[in-house]
Amino acid sequence: MKGGKSKKRQNMNEYLLHLGEANPVTDDLISLIFHLQSNRDIYKFTLSKILFQYTTERPELMDQWLTQLPANAEVVIGIAENMGEEALQFWPRILPILEQAPRPTLRLVISLDDLNHNEIVDFVIEGYRREIATKSLFLSYDLKQYQKILVKLAGSNPDIDAFIQLRMNEQEFYELGTQVITNGTLTPSLSELLNDTLATRLIDTLATTTLSPEEVDASSANKLTIQDSQRLCKLIGLLGPTSAPHIEALMQASRPDAPVTQRDNCIWALAQSKKLTSQLQTYFEQFLSIDASELASAIDETSKKIPIKTRDDRWTLTVVDTNTYFKQRKSLSQYDGTAPDLTPLYAAAFLLKHDAGHQQAQALAEALYQADLKLIDHDGMRAVLSNSSDALEKVIMEHPTILDVSRYGIVGFTSHLRAVVAWTTPMETLASAKANKPEELNALISDGLASNRRARVINTAVLLQAMDQPLHPDHQSILVEKLGSVDLRDEVRLYLSVLAKGAPTLELVSVLQQMKSETLEADVAKTVNNMLLHFDADLGSEGSEGSMGVRVN
């Protein structure tokens, strides 16, 4: 019954909306609308829309609304919302009634391009603080909207960030900062302010409890602390640690007796340092003396525990949100507890990135490469799997830079591949060591592409994708061959994106044309078509002889 009534009300409002199209806008028509305001079946939205339409016919009416409707703030703000940027001219008059209608005001503010008005900033900060204070446990719709606006604001004006920080307490600023880091644009001063806040918070968090691996499972409070520390490390890493306190905090968080997942994130954050200081060099060098085969078996053990789900013999990704799927939580905690310690790999990667000639790091990178670790690059996983799962796509969209495997995802592969996601891989690390030796680097890449290990090929393709140079003919030939024989449809996108940097050889064009005649997913078909058109245009511009007789159908 309730549904029927609601439907009737909706139909009535849809009908009434047409009254907005009535023209000319006579005074008694306006009186009629005012009269209708008292009808509880009429949505404020409907009234605002109608009155907005009348205002476009008779602009002088806005003045009348502002005078006559202070008691019905929602309708006035609704009219302003429909006006968009035009509403700014009335801002001083709308201001006194903003608080009476926060949600339409939010919608209005979101629709504005220019947010740098003190009144808007005040309104948004106060609203955000109120939401944090009252609904700190849940991310309410309004809180998200306030955050969205503040993230936009923080990147739009170099002065506004400090102003925002001054107005907020540490918790509020921290909550906002995490949003800005992951979803927004950081100004240098905000970056610095946030880094300090995060480092202080990390030190405080670490000080609240002792974090030994045994205690991780023993107490859920400890688990929360670990998750918080992981998150803080990642945020600092994304900002790039810049000062001694940040480095100190990260070193403390990644000390050898800390839980592995925490270490993993905090070491990664430390490796985001822009400079190789002697302190960092000494710190990272202590991790280099490990046996590569031990690490390989640890990774093997972990990968065996990755739950496998298959569907049509394709890669399938199981994205597990620990907050939602209690049943999956057990397998997640098992994974957490046995995650391999990749610190040596991260240490070698960092040292070689800053000093390609670091011999001990080189030796370890070589050993890790030869040990054939079952690792898949974080970016590679995104590139390959992003089209395989809507759920992962959603997670990536929400967390474009942070894909927290321990919290959000466990990758379940078919028998073709089981691998653990890592921030970097031995392939990438070894490539850093050979950065100044082009021939050796090319040989390494050829070896990686020709490998029969799927993860290694993917990691090599990701490396090529990131390299700022044209594709080497040898690498292109191997990739074209792989593309021609590929039964692993998920990698196609990755290979195509690498081959787009290549030359339009006869082999490549014919493989593309062959693909074109097959049934492809829409985005792949589009990429193939674009590449063929692009190559054909290139060849055409070089002369008719250059087109090798290949034509795009």
Partner 1 sequence: MSLTFRIVPCFTLILIVSLCASTISFSKEDTPQTAEISRLVKALKKGSIPSRLEAADNLASYGAKARRAYPDLLKAMKRARKAEDVTSYLSAILAVTDDHEDAFELFLQNWMQ
**Cβ closest to partner 1, residue 57 vs residue 85:** 57
- Shortest reach from residue 25's CB to partner 1, in Å: 8
Looking only at residues 354 through 383 of this chain, which bind partner 1 when binding is defined by CB under 8 A? Answer: none
Judged by CB under 8 A, the residue of 22, 363, 500, 520 near partner 1 is 22
- Shortest reach from residue 13's CB to partner 1, in Å: 9
**Cβ closest to partner 1, residue 14 vs residue 301:** 14
The contact pattern for partner 1, residues 472-491, with x = CB under 8 A and - = no contact, is --------------------
Do the beta carbons of residue 198 and residue 218 sit within 8 Å?
no
User: How many Cβ atoms sit within 10 Å of the Cβ of residue 397?
Assistant: 9
**Cβ closest to partner 1, residue 33 vs residue 250:** 33
Residue whose C-alpha is closest to residue 388's, from 316, 491, 313: 316
**Cβ closest to partner 1, residue 27 vs residue 114:** 27
Residue whose C-alpha is closest to residue 473's, from 451, 497, 506: 506
DSSP state of 171: H
Structure token pair of residue 110: 């979101």
What is the rounded CA–CA span in Å between residue 255 and residue 491? 37
β-strand pairing of 420-422 with 375-377: parallel
Rounded to the nearest 5°, which phi and psi values hold at 410?
-125, 135
Does 21 participate in binding partner 1 (rule CB under 8 A)?
Answer: yes
353-365 as b/e: b if 16+ CB within 10 A: bbebebeebbebb
**Cβ closest to partner 1, residue 15 vs residue 141:** 15
Q: Return the sign of the alpha-carbon dihedral for residues 88, 93, 99, 100.
A: negative
**Cβ closest to partner 1, residue 50 vs residue 384:** 50
- Shortest reach from residue 78's CB to partner 1, in Å: 20
- Shortest reach from residue 12's CB to partner 1, in Å: 6
Tokens 């990644």 locate to 254
Using CB under 8 A, which of the segments 13-21, 54-62, 71-79, 336-344 binds partner 1?
13-21
Using CB under 8 A, which of the segments 15-23, 381-389, 424-432, 524-532 binds partner 1?
15-23
Looking only at residues 23 through 62 of this chain, which bind partner 1 when binding is defined by CB under 8 A? Answer: 23-24, 26, 28-29, 32
Using CB under 8 A, which of the segments 9-17, 67-75, 135-143, 310-318 binds partner 1?
9-17
Using CB under 8 A, which of the segments 22-30, 311-319, 339-347, 532-540 binds partner 1?
22-30
**Cβ closest to partner 1, residue 53 vs residue 527:** 53
Residue whose C-alpha is closest to residue 356's, from 472, 291, 276, 238: 276
Structure token pair of residue 246: 């940040």
- Shortest reach from residue 30's CB to partner 1, in Å: 11
Phi-psi group of 341: left, alpha or beta (phi > 0 → left; psi -120 to 50 → alpha; rest → beta): beta
Between vectors from CA 169 to CA 163 and to CA 173, what angle results, nearest 5°?
65
User: How many Cβ atoms sit within 10 Å of the Cβ of residue 255?
Assistant: 12
Do the beta carbons of residue 106 and residue 127 sit within 8 Å?
yes
**Cβ closest to partner 1, residue 14 vs residue 63:** 14
User: Binding residues for partner 1, per CB under 8 A?
Assistant: 12, 14-19, 21-24, 26, 28-29, 32
